[in-house]
Chain A
Amino acid sequence: MKHSYLVRLLFLLLFACAGFTSAHAQTGSISGRVLDEANQGLPGVTVVIEGTSLGNSTSVDGTYSIQNIPAGPHVLIISFVGYNTQRKDITVASGQNTAVVPVVVGENTTLLNEAVVVGYGTQRRQDVTGAVTQIDEKQFVKGQVTNPEQLIQGKVAGVQITTGGGAPGAATTIRIRGGSSLNASNDPLIVIDGVPVDNSSVTGAANALSLINPQDIETYTVLKDASATAIYGSRASNGVILITTKKGVAGEKLTVNVSSQASVARRYNSVPVLSADEFRNTVAQVAPGKVGLLGTANTNWQDEIFRTAYTSDNNVSLTGAVGKLPFRASYGNLEQQGILRTNRLIRNTGSISLNPILFDNTLKVNVNVKGSIIDNNFADNGAIGAALAFDPTQPVRSGAEGYGGYFEYLQSAGGVPQQNVPRNPLPLLELRRDRSTVKRSIGNAQLDYALPFFRDLHANLNLGYDITRSNGSNLVDSTAAAAYFNRPLDPTLTNRQGGSFNRYAQSRDNKLLEAYLNYTKQFGETRLDVLAGYSYQDFVTTSPNRPTYLADGTTVFQAASINPFRTQYTILSYYGRANLSINDRYVITGTLRNDASSRFSPDNRNALFPAVSAAWNIKNESILKDNNTFSDLKLRAGYGITGQQDVVAAAGSDYPYIQRYTLNSLRAQYGFYNPTTGAYEYFTPYSPQGFNRNLKWEQTTTYNAGIDYGFLDGRLSGSLDVYYRKTKDLLAVIPIALLTNYTNQLVSNVGSLENKGIELNLNATPVQGEHWNWSVNANGTYNVNKILSLGPQAPGFPGIYTNNGGTIGGGTGTQIGIYRVGEASSSYYVYKQVYGADGKPLQDVYADLNGDGVVNSNDRYVYKQAAPPVILGFSSNVSYDRLSLAFTLRSQLGNYLYNNVNSQNGNYNGLTGQPTVVNNVTQDANYTGFTTTTQERYSSDYYIQNASFLRMQNVTLGYDAGKIFGNRGNLRLTAAVQNVFLITKYSGLDPEIFNGIDNNVYPRPRTYTIGLNLSL
């Protein structure tokens, strides 16, 4: 991170002040040069005179000069992100320029003086009092990264990032320190270049963040505890992720950077279902009467629906300054195939940032515009489940004309399809066209102005927007058996019936206005940084109402709803922060935010979120100052309250406190027949909705204590944090007294839960030399989640059943999870399977846990949890001269998964259950020998399996070819493999599924990537 924009800003800030310090007395100037370990001039390094606001930063060749320094002895502080700060005694002679001998700075891993991005500004790392982790480009996960959040997967303690499978641009779930809520959102707030973005799902894009090009990102900062996040008040309870994109730097020469990579992705394992021959044998043994139904083909359906997928990812950026205008412009093009046939994503992204500094460095302008267009070709994930169950002895193609030429089960030869039988997986993909185009632009203009008469005071105005437009359509071909019955039978149409076609669109228009004043002043050894501001953010989402047609595109199959969709909410906030640093030893930070959200009634709308934290830089105490063992030692402690206002997931609307009447859809009308006229009179009802006029914020109180440490000149450094978070007034959907509202379950503020845990982060540089360098990062998290209260409970109240947003394949009405007091919120609630002497589960035999002689739903018990108590990450980077080898390992321990693939297909019901077809089963059926079992098996703990895993996320080999065009052009070549190996006891395909229910999961492929990066 050589051209640190932030350090520049800091410097310019200081310089601006310096420019107005008049030089009454005798002053002199100094000049010198800062070099890196290779004796190359180091640009952008901050050089300041200690105890003053005098300073400058080095130019492109590493030289600097500082004027108007009072004559006499001084200490020069040379600091730069990523390098050890140097202190140098100098003596300034009056009226003269003193040449300072060149200073060589070494790279540093403790980053003590690094500018850390925090809410509304930056802080010196030593002034940070909260639990904050910053990850920059150097540490990002390499290889084919489509979604920005994958860049830091496995890199940050306390952060769990789970992709929703292997589809390009699949939705990702991010959890910071466990979930703080039951039914309200558990997603962190994401702020991109100062714009808090709407990360709720976008119609037509599985993942809203996938619209950001990862290549444009410079740093990620994860704010974890309340003292760091409370400045974001009501959206901070689940942590805050600040994303800073790359910028141009003043004075920098124009650089063109071209990067290009190509990838091949392959499926590396299969769900263990029976092969065609195994299937024939099993049918012959288990259901001899069904042998006649078998075909003669040998089809591996998983091989048929998946493919080798290719990806190209090309990016070009131009960085530098034209005159006084630093800028960066970039363009990226990604074309990524999914391994599931027909699935593809094309993304074009562009970004421009302009960062001029005007009026003698008093006005800093920061304009960012990012735009992207994604074209998605979605595939029907139902094909994955169909491929598991479809008879492997049947062919892909029938040889006949009907149904697109694909084999299907028909009621008679050449007739109509059978119902309630599996569909050939291939036409589910090939006879469907599911496309969307999503455009998103995020931008802002930020003005930071040093007031003319009071230069320590800066006024900052930030105007931002986040606009999304999506359009999509979904066509199921009229020859598809799956949509055959969408039209009443018409005998004149043979093999070509309903199909379906619908179009959809969504617009999101979010705008932001922020204004704050920032006062920074160094009083001798004391440094004060005060901020006070105001924020207004407005979110509008609209969708038109459109009907669903048959595939002909003209016959309405399902009428459009009467009203289009539109929703809007607004958040209005005041906030302030004071950071006081005394002697660089004692730092105190206090923040306060008042948020008002339109989602709550005027009586409950406002809430105050305070936080206070302190840090003690023990390293800077005199006893340790000259100690060479410790290079950093800081204690931190913080307390704060944050909130959660995102009730939409729980309440289903942005207006949960208002008594609303919603117009029914045209599918839910009610009609009265008039015998006289022979016609119906239909009415479209207004449905009164449940509402909670007392609804208010969910509140999370966080206690955090941490220690930042560094040994041996930063060769070993890291941090250790312990935290306790308690959320009260949970926004939970709970049963309410019947007859009191227009619903039986209502989002209410009830109960509480806690998360407590430990996070450890360790950076080490075991080898640091002329040729060999080796750095490692290890991080680990232990988090315990427990529900403390769910409101009043009568005896026998088991808790609130939940599927954590998932669905159970085959088990209508089954809910595998429970919210229960005293248990983790991701707990399973199951029957206890009874096993035979041979260790195999006994069919339909479950333990009578309450001993009442009957096995019924009261005998279910809480068993294991989906969320991992332990999350581990390990990264290593070894380099020898120009060659480097890096890898990232990730692990989760103690998490369990509900193997819905086996609970649905792991029994012989597939062979015997239907008279006219036989379905494939998983290998587990041959192990258990389960025949036709009761539905209770869907709730058996036999299918709750240990899903702990160790995954090598990626390994990257890099070669730095250096300057290939004489003095110019830096070429770097990489080869990477993602998903290198996976070690787990889990018997299904992949143990990493966020909601804990394994069915129809799009496999994560193994991806091989080669890439080049050329700077000119």
Chain B
Amino acid sequence: MKKSSVFRHTLGLGLVAGSLLAATSCTKDLDRTPTYDLNTASVYKDAAGYQAVAAKVYSGFAVTGGQGPDATTGDILGIDQGTSDYLRGLWSAQELTTDEAVIQWGDPGVQDWHNMNWTPSGVLIQGLYSRILYEVTLCNGFLAQATDANLSDRGITGADLTNIQRLRAEVRFLRALSYYHALDLFGNPPFATEADEIGGTTPPKQTSRAELFAYIEKELQEIDADLAAPGQNLYGRADKAAAWTLLARLYLNANVYTGTDRYADCATNAKKVIDSGVYSLMPQYRNLFRANNNTSKEIIFPIVYDGKKTQTYGGTTFLTHAAVSGTANENWNPSLYGIDGGWGGIRTTPRLYQQFPDTAADTRAKFVTGGQTLEVTSQTTFQNGYVPIKFRNITSTGGPGSDLVFVDSDFPMFRLADVYLMYAEAAVRGGGDKNLALTYVNLVRARAFKTPSAGAITANDLTLDFLLSERSRELFWEATRRTDLIRYGRFTTGAYLWSWKGGVAAGVAVPDYRRLFPIPVADLSVNPNLTQNPGY
């Protein structure tokens, strides 16, 4: 009994002591950190980490999130993940709003593009705006860590240092590209650089279109020294030619953005690309948009996709599937496109088809017409409207891509034919050599026509109207149309109409304020520095 009593007292004291001891320890267990995820210090500890984040910056144009297209959430929230893709958003804003494309679907806001009745609360506008500025944030985050001081602190030297300095210039190019899209689409977006904190609560200031124009111009000029010479980088990474092409596009539209013509600057930069000598037109137009277009010498800067490794329901996967009927029949064989089946979404208005005076002679004029009507009686009927055959998940030799759902084809963000046509337009507008312009345009047309000489034009043919049409013939569905129409004053006005422009079957002019998209109301709500674009 006595023994038991001692035991009991020991137990009692033990319990009390144990309780007190327990209560005073363990607080350090509250500092739980992710087991596999890294923090800023561990990511940027070596060159491989920088490279991996730079890859994220690049992939921001291609994929919708870090965990694959079927993950429950992507980078951008509040929107269907496949729709949140950079290119799908950009393409919709640049093409669905014009004569080049209509879409069958009725996902909320999808028809607003073509009907030109989008609103500041539209989920698709908000998704595109968020995606573009998210991309800028990725760039800012990388650049804040990639300063020379940080690289030196982290002991990165030699070839690693050179590579990261080059990546830094490339990321600045990518940021300029995204800011250019913001400039072109939204005009006056919020603005931040690597000097601004990420994770803070201070909302960024709004910038004006003119200020942003100057910033992009300056950035592209500043990085010129650090970027690789044209063609000297890996395909997919930006080089000097990519920056020059973006400058050319910026200058070509300078009057829209700032009210001041910069055609000579456009021509100069376009010519630098052309004169670099490393780019040449793809011998066959159709191969520019196929699964192995990475071997093209024409593409200056692509968004790179892979059916297995870089998967998205946006990008060229969207552009390929959406332009194929949802059901197989004699007119539609999905295997000709290298895909499992179509999504039955996008077609074109009669305007694009009619840009081609002779669809038999021009290899660019490939349309599915069987079972389709030329006229778009109803936007939501896939059989209304001819369907261009452009992006296909088969190689130049006809073999399939690596996956039947996700497409291998890269998207040519910039390519040589566009540069030729930009030079030509700048020249016709008084900024360059018209004879050279004629040569360039005829190069583009010679490639396009089955009989190369059949496409040749004369100096008299080289008018601004011709060039706008030629851009449409050459570059349709490549996300430049809206910008081109605005530059020609034909986007909102009654000067040029197409089916269902402004939501009316015959087409109707819409107010000029629709040349800019609205700042989404979600951002206006949380950023008191922002003012809505006029008209909205």
Query: Is the CB–CB distance between A570 and B234 below 8 Å?
Result: no
- For chain A, residues 543 to 579, give those with C-beta under 8 angstroms from any C-beta of chain B: 558-559, 561, 563-570, 572, 574
Q: In the complex where A451-B12, A686-B43, A745-B77 touch, is A459 in contact with B19 (Cβ < 8 A)? A: yes
Which 9 pairs between the two chains have the least Cβ-Cβ distance? Answer: A935-B106, A419-B341, A515-B19, A685-B56, A683-B55, A667-B68, A687-B66, A744-B130, A672-B234
Q: Which residues of A contact B327 (CB under 8 A)?
A: 418-421, 914-917
A515-B18, A660-B38, A662-B37 known; A743 and B77 CB under 8 Å?
Answer: yes
Contact of B29 among A447, A572, A669 (CB under 8 A): A572
User: Which chain B residues lie closer than 8 Å to A101 at the CB level?
Assistant: none
Q: Is A666 an interface residue (CB 8 A)?
A: yes
Nearest residue (CB) in A for B35 is: A566
CB of A517 within 8 Å of the partner chain: yes
Q: Please name 18 pairs of A and B residues whose Cβ atoms are closer than 8 Å in the assembled complex, sorted by A.
A: A596-B27, A596-B30, A664-B56, A668-B68, A670-B59, A671-B306, A672-B237, A673-B304, A687-B56, A687-B66, A689-B37, A738-B129, A739-B190, A742-B198, A792-B528, A795-B521, A801-B123, A815-B108
- Interface size class of chain A, counting residues whose CB lies under 8 Å from the partner chain: 35 or more
In the bound complex, what is the Cα–Cα distance between A461 and B17 (angstroms)?
11
CB–CB A935/B108 < 8 A: yes
- CB nearest to A670 among chain B residues: B59
Q: Is A492 an interface residue (CB 8 A)?
A: no
In B5-33, the 8 Å CB interface with A consists of 5, 8-9, 11-12, 15-16, 18-19, 22-23, 26-27, 29-33
Instruction: Tell whether B236 is near chain A: CB-to-CB under 8 Å.
Output: yes
Find out whether the CB atom of A668 lies under 8 angstroms from the CB atom of B63.
yes
Closest residue to A558 on the B side, CB-wise? B68
- Give the interface segment out of B113-121, B432-440, B446-454, B464-472: B113-121
Q: Does B187 contact A (CB under 8 A)?
A: no
B140 touches A686 (CB 8 A): no
Given contacts A418-B341, A517-B19, A667-B68, contact A572 B526 (CB under 8 A): no
- CB <8 Å contact, B204 and A672: no
Most buried by A among B192, B199, B237, B521: B199
Within 8 Å by CB of A459, from B15, B71, B138, lies B15
B309, CB-defined interface residue at 8 Å: yes
List residues of A (796-842) whose CB comes within 8 Å of B's CBs. 796-798, 800-801, 811-815
Report yes or no: A652 in contact with B32, Cβ–Cβ below 8 A: no
- Expressed in whole angstroms, the minimum distance between the Cβ of A802 and any Cβ of chain B is 9
B134 within 8 A of A: yes
Of the listed stretches B264-272, B328-336, B475-483, name the one at the interface; the rest are far from the partner chain.
Answer: B328-336
Q: Which residues of A contact B38 (CB under 8 A)?
A: 660-661, 663, 686
**Could you mark each residue 51-63 of chain B with 1 if its beta carbon is under 8 Å from any beta carbon of chain A, else 0?**
1111110110011
Distance in angstroms from A269 CB to nearest chain B CB is 31
B19 touches A738 (CB 8 A): no
Are A452 and B9 interface neighbours, CB within 8 A?
yes
CB pair A669–B309 under 8 Å, yes or no, is: yes
Interface: A693 (CB within 8 A): yes
Residue of B nearest to A420 (CB): B326
Taking CB atoms, residues of chain B closer than 8 Å to A681 are 234
Contacts of B404 in A (CB 8 A): 485, 488-489
B523 → A minimal CB distance (Å): 5
Of the listed stretches A386-394, A430-438, A853-861, chain B binds A853-861
With A664-B67, A813-B108 given, is the CB distance from A672 to B235 under 8 Å?
Answer: yes
Name the contact of B525 in the complex, choosing from A668, A682, A735, A917 (C-beta under 8 A): A735
Name which of A82-90, A257-265, A279-287, A597-605 contacts chain B.
A597-605
How far does the alpha carbon of A418 sit from the alpha carbon of B344 in the complex, in Å? Answer: 13
With A655-B32, A668-B310, A683-B55 already in contact, the answer to whether A741 and B137 are too (CB < 8 A) is yes
Interface size on B, residues (CB 8 A): 130
* Separation of A667 and B307 alpha carbons in the complex (Å): 9
Do B22 and A536 have beta carbons less than 8 Å apart? yes
- Chain B CB within 8 A of A96 CB: no
Shortest B10–chain A CB gap in Å is 10
User: Is B380's CB under 8 angstroms from A737's CB?
Assistant: no
Cβ of B385 to closest chain A Cβ, rounded Å: 16
Q: In the complex, A667→B123 CA distance in Å?
A: 26
Bitwise, A955-996 to B at CB < 8 A (1) or not (0) is 000000000000000000000000000000000000000000
Q: Mark interface residues in A470-491 (1 if CB within 8 Å of B CB, else 0).
A: 0000000000000001001100
A670 touches B304 (CB 8 A): yes
Q: How far is B36's CA from A567's CA once the two chains are assembled, in angstroms? A: 9
Contact, CB under 8 Å: A362 / B18: no
Contact B39 A660 (CB under 8 A): yes
Identify B40's interface contact among A461, A568, A659, A801, CB under 8 A.
A659
Chain A binding surface SS class: loop
Choice from B8, B22, B234, B523 contacting A738 with Cβ under 8 Å: B523
Flag if A675 contacts B295 (CB, 8 Å): yes
Q: Is the CB of A688 within 8 A of B53?
A: yes
Is A513 interfacial (CB 8 A cutoff)?
A: yes
Contact in complex: B295, A735 (CB < 8 Å)? no
Within 8 A of B (CB), among A675-708: 675, 680-689, 691-694
Supposing A566-B35, A737-B527, A857-B108 touch, asked if A673 and B236 sit within 8 A by C-beta, the answer is yes
Q: Please tell me if B461 contacts chain A, counting CB pairs below 8 Å.
A: no
Q: Does B65 contact A (CB under 8 A)?
A: yes
Complexed CA–CA distance, A666 and B406 (Å): 14
Residue interface mask B311-348, A partner, CB < 8 A = 1: 10000000000000111110000110000111110000
Residues of B within 8 A of A534 (CB): 19, 22-23
Q: Which of A362, A737, A742 contacts B204 (CB 8 A)?
A: A737
Cross-chain contact A744 with B134 (CB below 8 angstroms): yes
B49 within 8 A of A: yes
A533 CA / B18 CA spacing, docked (Å) = 12
Residues A812 and B36 in contact in the complex (CB < 8 Å), given A674-B234, A685-B52:
no
* Chain B residues within an 8 Å CB radius of A915: 325, 327, 329, 371
> What CA separation (Å) do A661 and B54 show in the bound complex?
13
- B136 within 8 Å of A (CB atoms): yes
Contacting residues of chain A (484-536) with chain B, CB-CB under 8 angstroms: 485, 488-489, 513, 515-517, 533-534, 536
Stretch at the interface among B78-86, B156-164, B357-365: B78-86
C-alpha gap A902/B37 in the complex (Å): 44
Q: Is the CB of B521 within 8 A of A794?
A: yes
Q: B117, B306, B526: which contacts A854 (Cβ < 8 A)?
A: B117
CB-contact partner of B52 in A362, A654, A666, A683, under 8 A: A683
Contacts of A513 in B (CB 8 A): 22
Q: Is the CB of B35 within 8 A of A671?
A: no
> Once the chains bind, are A420 and B52 in contact (CB under 8 Å)?
no
Q: Complex Cα distance A839/B96, Å?
A: 37
Asked whether A661 lies within 8 Å of B43 as measured between CB atoms, the reply is yes
Which of B9, B52, B236 is close to A684, meaning CB atoms less than 8 Å apart? B52
Q: Does B245 contact A (CB under 8 A)?
A: no
Question: A288–B126 Cα gap in the complex (Å)?
Answer: 43
Indicate if B219 sits at the interface (CB-CB under 8 A).
Answer: no
- In the complex, are the beta carbons of B37 and A661 less than 8 A apart? yes
Does A42 reach chain B (CB closer than 8 Å)?
Answer: no
- Which of A362, A673, A734, A792 has the most CB atoms of chain B within a 10 A radius of its CB? A673
Contact indicator B192/A670 (Cβ below 8 Å): no
Most B CB atoms within 10 A — which of A572, A670, A684, A935? Answer: A670
Pair B27/A665 contact, Cβ less than 8 Å: no
Q: Is A739 a contact partner of B525 (Cβ separation < 8 A)? A: no
Chain A residues with CB below 8 A from B52, complex form: 663, 683-686
Q: Which residues of A are found within 8 Å of B77, using beta-carbon distances?
A: 733, 743-745
Q: Give Cα A418–Cα B341 distance, bound, in whole angstroms.
A: 8
Interfacial chain A residues near B285, Cβ < 8 Å: none
Report yes or no: B344 in contact with A420, Cβ–Cβ below 8 A. Answer: yes
Supposing A739-B136, A740-B201, A794-B524 touch, asked if A668 and B329 sit within 8 A by C-beta, the answer is no
Asked if B484 is at the interface (CB within 8 A of a chain A CB), the reply is: no
What A residues does B334 contact at CB under 8 A?
Answer: 419
- Tell me the residues in window 572-625 of chain A with beta carbons closer than 8 Å to chain B beta carbons: 572, 574, 596-598, 602, 605
**Pair A812/B105 contact, Cβ less than 8 Å:** yes
Partner of A418, one of B123, B328, B528: B328
